[in-house]
Amino acid sequence: MRSIPHQAKGHGDDSVLSSTGGA
């Protein structure tokens, strides 16, 4: 649930993943 969100959503989670290192 961390390698996909930034690709599946990419509507705002992208910023969060960048901070958590998911992106």
Q: What is the pLDDT of residues 1-23, one digit of tens each?
A: 555 555 555 555 666 655 555 44
Q: What is the pLDDT of residue 23?
A: 46
Helix and strand counts by DSSP (H, E) for the chain = 2, 0
Q: What is the pLDDT of residue 20?
A: 57
Please state whether the predicted TM-score (pTM) of the whole model is above 0.75. Answer: no
Is the Cβ–Cβ distance between 23 and 4 less than 8 Å? no
Q: What is the pLDDT of residue 18?
A: 57
